[in-house]
Amino acid sequence: MTNFSAQELRWTWEKLWDISGSNFLKLIKDYNSCGISSTNPIMINKTGDCAQISCNNITFCNIANETAFKVVLIHELGHIVYHYTGANAMKTEHLNLYKPSSGSIHAVTSYGATDVTENYPEMLTYYLNPSVSEQTSIKHTNSTIPYSKPENADYYQLANKILCGGT
Q: Of residues 68-127, which lie at the interface with Zn ion (CB under 5 A)?
A: 118
Nearest CA-CA partner of 67 in 159, 123, 139, 148: 139
CB 153 within 8 A of CB 111: no
Nearer to Zn ion, 118 or 134 (CB): 118
Minimum distance of Zn ion from residue 129's CB (angstroms): 15
Edge-to-edge strands of the sheet including 57-60?
43-46, 57-60, 51-54
Nearest CA-CA partner of 72 in 5, 157, 15, 31: 15
Minimum distance of Zn ion from residue 124's CB (angstroms): 11
Minimum distance of Zn ion from residue 3's CB (angstroms): 20
Instruction: Select the residue whose beta carbon is closest to Zn ion and give its number.
Output: 118
Q: Give CA–CA dist 61/39, Å, rounded.
A: 25
Nearer to Zn ion, 8 or 118 (CB): 118
Nearer to Zn ion, 37 or 57 (CB): 57
Question: Residues interacting with Zn ion, by CB under 5 A?
Answer: 118
